Chain A
Amino acid sequence: MLDLSLAQARAALRARKLSARELTGAYLSAIDSLNERLNAYVLVTPDAALAHADAADASLARGEQGNLTGIPLAIKDLFCTRGIRTTAGSRILGNFIPPYESTVTENLLRDGAVFLGKANMDEFAMGSSNMTSAFGAVTNPWTRHGDNRPLVPGGSSGGSAAAVAARLALGATATDTGGSIRQPASFCGIAGIKPTYGRCSRWGVVAFASSLDQAGPLARTVEDAAILLGSMSGYDAKDSTSANVAVPDFAAACARGVKGLRIGVPREYRSDGMPPEIEALWQQGQQWLREQGAAIVDVSLPHTKYALATYYIVAPAEASSNLARYDGVRFGLRVDGGDLGELYENTRAEGFGAEVKRRVLIGTYVLSAGYYDAYYLKAQKVRALILKDFTDAFQHCDALLTPTAPSAAFGQGEKMDDPVTMYLNDVFTVPANMAGTPGLSVPAGLDAQGLPLGLQVLGRPFDEETVFAVGAAIERAAGFSARPSILAK
């Protein structure tokens, strides 16, 4: 039952061959048996999940079929959920219980989804390994052949990705500021899309970097991701950066095929240090698309090399300001002091982890008087050039194909000595955040050690349909059917 895709489970529910209670119960049992090892969930809400499942069964009995009626999901702990503790993976939020529901999760509930619990994540979504969570590391359900050492699931949506890959949820919400959906999808062998900036409302999602943050789904198939995104998307007047555009039928786009499409391969994404297996997979992906009728074209994104450095100015700058509200005065953790200044210092010193502090410091520095022009203003100018790169490239092609990440999942504790080594994980994913364009990671193969590798499809703003069409074509050709090691034992 747990191996059913979301689309298959939905069909079985609608056909009344399966009840939402059975399905949710099966997922809750799986969580019971595996979550202790994976630490994918920081909070499981079985009572609420079963109550929602029963409501879903009642709806289905009445013939009411929402897009997601009875589908059990994991919710990244960055989404505020009414009456359910929301931590953003940080100590500083303490036992914060939001009195409101984020727009994205409200949309999912509207469509009948069942929430199993809150997924672990890097603190405030800052990280590429899920090692920065105040609730401890998440373990990737995959391990290398003949090597039991635990690997990271990627980050920041590591809990969401691990849960979906290990069959602890049928799908999950996630967010992507610099690659936090696509890189964990690649590391865990699942599909994940960061839609166009503005496609999903940011209202009720704890902010990291407002101009980059975007919610999206993680799922086991491209079509499942498309189904989830359909429910998550939509204009929201409460988010001034939300786009007032119609939500197309993403799932239908998965069946379009790629015949006649021009697929760009950006030459700047070829780096000297890229593992040969990833290079080979990338070539393979091009071949698959060619075989299905697409034309492969060489394109240039000349400012790619500046994207990561620029990102590490813009994102911390916005974060330093967004995180100022965690001051111990109104909610969350408070560590008292002799005066207001000490209250701030004690609360923030104890509440934030090292990576969050590092980024707050970087952000404060780049915005400070005398440095603003050299860093933040310059970064915004480069950002405009990166966007122009994409606009120019999309004159010559309909989508871009790149690797998702420069490596497969690495070991817990690796790449921890130098933050920049960790930041390099996002080198292929960050440009799409800077440009606001949609990006999908689709599982395409395994490396020699048996770890999954993803390919990334980038598209024009608000053209997720083409991205899904290309992603589904790769998925069909790849026939990716490997299961995480944890399920084999």
Chain B
Amino acid sequence: MTYTIEGNTGPWEVVVGLEVHAQVISQSKLFSGAATAFGAAPNSQVSFVDAAFPGMLPVVNAEAVAQAVRTGLGLRAHINLVSRFDRKNYFYADLPSGYQISQFEKPIVGAGTIEIELAGGSTRQIGVTRLHLEQDAGKSLHDQHPSKSYVDLNRAGVALMEIVSEPDIRSPEEAGAYVKKLRAILRYLGTCDGNMEEGSLRADVNVSVRKHGEPYRTRCEIKNVNSIRFVMLAVEAEAMRQVEVWESGGTVQQETRLFDSARGITRPMRSKEDAHDYRYFPDPDLLPLVLDEAWVADLASKLPELPDGKRARFIGDYGLTPYDASVLVAEKATAEYFETVAQGRDAKQAANWIMGDLFAMLNETGRSIENSPVPAERLGELLDLISGNIINGKIAKTVFDAMAETGGRPAEIVEARGLRQVTDTGAIDAAVDAVLAANPDKVADYKAGKEKMFGFFVGQIMKSLAGKGNPALVNASLKQRLG
């Protein structure tokens, strides 16, 4: 099913390509030894290299290079054993050297692919054009003083990977799925924390529209979109705008725009300078980056399992449905949680608990799975209590709620609150007899053929047992008495 925008002149196809800037997880910056922690005091993580003092020279950080190669491998992309750093020249107060060191002509990583999953379980391959390493700029603060701008260089020189997709994306949903999947891969690899609120993952969204079968029309670039939801909204808003422009007889101008999330529209960006000529040329302070094939092979051999591989394994080894497997591998932490719970237990039951009660509780309390008050080991213990006939499934939900609230162990909660299942057949028989005796009319209905009443009796019996009756024993006793 193809996503289209219905215009007055008929359906329009949406064409999207994404440039994602991912901050590399590394102790130090791309070309200096300065630290990279987020949230440090302004200008406290700046070396003389970052501040472009006279005579200072860049030295490439080998770990940042390794992270880029790992990412390239994770994107099933071509690793360029020879790449080069170029200077992109422009003046701005938060760009101390007057140029950004980037990779223009020869990026470290070439073409790759990302498989995205869509609602309904279908998948699509989205092409990755390239990945290159570059420095981030500092930050200009215009709201700290009535007439002055302040500059914070903590971010200046931090390593970024710019990951450019092919214009293969055809809907807001696909754009969202692409960023989600890319973020998952980066997190699995440990090459970027994917934290969009802190700006360690940002997307530039290129959007154009066209009639089916046409070549590409002019695109606009929406800069610095900082959440997956905004990526989807920005694609939709920009595509709608362009359809209106074309249909009203206008022409879409190639330009950079910003997504105004408050108003749900895109608007032209105030440009720092009218037309930039970046005067790219190879950085003479740096030699070409030459990678050893064996070193790349060694990184490849140590690559962790990635979402696609994990998903296949969850389906194959645990018998999960493709949908459940996709949900559980979407975040590395969720997948790890699931595997801890499922180890030696009923995997399907583990998946149901995680995707049902656990997700609901996390959602309600606004917690992440890493900070869950019910850690995986505890949820496992709870499942053990069910399979060991210590508690029934219904009581288990009560116990789970108590665990979420108190952080306690399930066995202790069951003991402390007397929630252990009633398996004493005498007590069960007595409860059954009491319920039947109290409801002679309903017994008569049942015997007259209203078999649905069976459920009513079970409910009443369980109620009188405070929910703790062993369901199998209750059923057996009731069936025997109703004959």
The chain A residues found within 8 Å of chain B, CB to CB, are: 79-80, 86, 88, 93, 96, 98-100, 102, 202-207, 209-211, 237-241, 317-318, 320-321, 324-325, 327, 329-331, 340, 344, 364, 367-369, 372, 376
**Minimum Cβ distance to chain B for residue A171 (Å):** 21
Considering only CB atoms, which chain A residue lies closest to B95 in the complex? A324
Q: Could you tell me if A324 and B55 are in contact, using CB atoms closer than 8 angstroms?
A: no
Q: Could you tell me if A329 and B54 are in contact, using CB atoms closer than 8 angstroms?
A: no
Considering only CB atoms, which chain A residue lies closest to B49 in the complex? A238
Q: How far is the CA of A340 from the CA of B98 in the complex (A)?
A: 13
Q: Could you tell me if B54 and A368 are in contact, using CB atoms closer than 8 angstroms?
A: no
Interface residues of B in 419-469 (CB under 8 A from A): none
B285 within 8 A of A: yes
Task: Give the number of chain B interface residues (Cβ < 8 Å).
Answer: 30
Considering only CB atoms, which chain B residue lies closest to A367 in the complex? B279
Give the chain B neighbours of A98 by CB distance below 8 A: 53-55
Q: Could you tell me if A99 and B96 are in contact, using CB atoms closer than 8 angstroms?
A: no
Give the chain A neighbours of B285 by CB distance below 8 A: 207, 210, 240-241
Q: How far is the CA of A98 from the CA of B285 in the complex (A)?
A: 20
Q: How far is the CA of A340 from the CA of B90 in the complex (A)?
A: 13
Q: Could you tell me if A321 and B279 are in contact, using CB atoms closer than 8 angstroms?
A: yes
Q: Could you tell me if A203 and B57 are in contact, using CB atoms closer than 8 angstroms?
A: yes
Q: Could you tell me if A340 and B149 are in contact, using CB atoms closer than 8 angstroms?
A: yes
B118 within 8 A of A: no
Contact of B59 among A93, A240, A318 (CB under 8 A): A240
B269 within 8 A of A: no
Q: Could you tell me if A206 and B55 are in contact, using CB atoms closer than 8 angstroms?
A: yes
Considering only CB atoms, which chain A residue lies closest to B31 in the complex? A240
Q: Quick one: given A318-B284, A324-B98, are A206 and B54 in contact (CB under 8 Å)?
A: yes
Q: Could you tell me if A203 and B55 are in contact, using CB atoms closer than 8 angstroms?
A: yes
User: 16 A–B contact pairs at CB < 8 A?
Assistant: A88-B54, A99-B48, A100-B53, A203-B55, A203-B56, A203-B57, A206-B55, A207-B285, A240-B58, A321-B279, A327-B93, A340-B93, A367-B89, A367-B279, A372-B279, A372-B281
Q: How far is the CA of A204 from the CA of B48 in the complex (A)?
A: 10
Interface residues of B in 29-54 (CB under 8 A from A): 48, 51-54
Q: How far is the CA of A88 from the CA of B53 in the complex (A)?
A: 13
**Minimum Cβ distance to chain B for residue A257 (Å):** 37
Give the chain A neighbours of B347 by CB distance below 8 A: none
Taking A321-B89, A325-B52, A329-B151 as known contacts, 7 extra A-B pairs with beta carbons closer than 8 A to each other, sorted by chain A number, are: A203-B57, A206-B55, A210-B284, A238-B59, A318-B284, A324-B98, A372-B280
Give the chain B neighbours of A99 by CB distance below 8 A: 48
**Minimum Cβ distance to chain A for residue B456 (Å):** 79
B314 within 8 A of A: no
Give the chain A neighbours of B281 by CB distance below 8 A: 317, 321, 367, 372, 376
Q: Could you tell me if B54 and A324 are in contact, using CB atoms closer than 8 angstroms?
A: no
Q: Quick one: given A321-B99, A327-B91, A367-B89, are A209 and B284 in contact (CB under 8 Å)?
A: yes
Interface residues of B in 272-317 (CB under 8 A from A): 277, 279-281, 284-287
Give the chain A neighbours of B361 by CB distance below 8 A: none
B475 within 8 A of A: no
Q: Quick one: given A321-B87, A367-B281, A368-B279, are A93 and B54 in contact (CB under 8 Å)?
A: yes
Q: Could you tell me if A80 and B60 are in contact, using CB atoms closer than 8 angstroms?
A: no
B113 within 8 A of A: no
Contact of A324 among B57, B89, B93 (CB under 8 A): B89
Give the chain A neighbours of B54 by CB distance below 8 A: 80, 86, 88, 93, 96, 98, 206-207, 325, 331
Q: How far is the CA of A436 from the CA of B279 in the complex (A)?
A: 25
Q: How far is the CA of A368 from the CA of B277 in the complex (A)?
A: 6
Give the chain A neighbours of B51 by CB distance below 8 A: 330
Q: How far is the CA of A368 from the CA of B170 in the complex (A)?
A: 36
Give the chain A neighbours of B97 by CB distance below 8 A: 324-325
Give the chain A neighbours of B280 by CB distance below 8 A: 367, 372
Give the chain B neighbours of A238 by CB distance below 8 A: 57, 59
Give the chain B neighbours of A205 by CB distance below 8 A: 55
B50-87 to A contact mask, C-beta < 8 Å, 1/0: 01111111111000000000000000000000000001
Q: Quick one: given A321-B279, A364-B279, are A330 and B96 in contact (CB under 8 Å)?
A: yes
Give the chain B neighbours of A88 by CB distance below 8 A: 54
Contact of A240 among B53, B55, B57, B96 (CB under 8 A): B57
**Minimum Cβ distance to chain A for residue B288 (Å):** 10
Give the chain B neighbours of A369 by CB distance below 8 A: 277, 279
The chain B residues found within 8 Å of chain A, CB to CB, are: 48, 51-60, 87, 89, 91-93, 96-99, 149, 151, 277, 279-281, 284-287
Q: How far is the CA of A318 from the CA of B99 in the complex (A)?
A: 12
Q: How far is the CA of A464 from the CA of B97 in the complex (A)?
A: 34
Give the chain A neighbours of B93 by CB distance below 8 A: 327, 329, 340
Query: Total contacts A to B, CB within 8 angstroms?
Result: 97
**Minimum Cβ distance to chain B for residue A332 (Å):** 8
**Minimum Cβ distance to chain A for residue B480 (Å):** 85
Give the chain B neighbours of A318 by CB distance below 8 A: 284
Q: Quick one: given A93-B54, A330-B51, are A240 and B286 in contact (CB under 8 Å)?
A: yes
Q: How far is the CA of A205 from the CA of B151 in the complex (A)?
A: 26
Q: Quick one: given A96-B54, A330-B96, are A237 and B59 in contact (CB under 8 Å)?
A: yes
Q: How far is the CA of A61 from the CA of B279 in the complex (A)?
A: 57
Q: How far is the CA of A480 from the CA of B277 in the complex (A)?
A: 53
Q: Could you tell me if A239 and B57 are in contact, using CB atoms closer than 8 angstroms?
A: yes
Q: How far is the CA of A209 from the CA of B57 in the complex (A)?
A: 13
Q: How far is the CA of A330 from the CA of B93 in the complex (A)?
A: 9
Considering only CB atoms, which chain A residue lies closest to B91 in the complex? A344
**Minimum Cβ distance to chain A for residue B54 (Å):** 4
**Minimum Cβ distance to chain A for residue B291 (Å):** 15
**Minimum Cβ distance to chain A for residue B425 (Å):** 80
Q: Could you tell me if B284 and A211 are in contact, using CB atoms closer than 8 angstroms?
A: yes
Give the chain B neighbours of A80 by CB distance below 8 A: 54-55
Q: Could you tell me if A241 and B287 are in contact, using CB atoms closer than 8 angstroms?
A: yes
**Minimum Cβ distance to chain B for residue A176 (Å):** 16
Q: Which 7 A-B pairs have the closest CB atoms?
A: A324-B98, A210-B284, A367-B279, A211-B284, A325-B52, A204-B55, A206-B54
Give the chain A neighbours of B151 by CB distance below 8 A: 329
Give the chain A neighbours of B89 by CB distance below 8 A: 320-321, 324, 367
**Minimum Cβ distance to chain B for residue A304 (Å):** 23
**Minimum Cβ distance to chain A for residue B27 (Å):** 17
Q: Could you tell me if B57 and A325 are in contact, using CB atoms closer than 8 angstroms?
A: no
Q: How far is the CA of A233 from the CA of B443 in the complex (A)?
A: 104
Q: Could you tell me if A324 and B99 are in contact, using CB atoms closer than 8 angstroms?
A: yes
Give the chain B neighbours of A325 by CB distance below 8 A: 52, 54, 96-98
Q: How far is the CA of A340 from the CA of B92 in the complex (A)?
A: 8
Q: Could you tell me if B55 and A321 are in contact, using CB atoms closer than 8 angstroms?
A: no
Q: Could you tell me if B87 and A202 are in contact, using CB atoms closer than 8 angstroms?
A: no
Q: Quick one: given A321-B99, A344-B91, are A100 and B48 in contact (CB under 8 Å)?
A: yes
Q: How far is the CA of A160 from the CA of B48 in the complex (A)?
A: 27
Q: Could you tell me if B96 and A329 are in contact, using CB atoms closer than 8 angstroms?
A: yes
Q: How far is the CA of A205 from the CA of B99 in the complex (A)?
A: 19
Q: How far is the CA of A46 from the CA of B59 in the complex (A)?
A: 36
Q: Could you tell me if A240 and B99 are in contact, using CB atoms closer than 8 angstroms?
A: no
**Minimum Cβ distance to chain A for residue B265 (Å):** 29
Give the chain B neighbours of A203 by CB distance below 8 A: 55-57
Q: How far is the CA of A273 from the CA of B216 in the complex (A)?
A: 61
Q: How far is the CA of A340 from the CA of B142 in the complex (A)?
A: 12
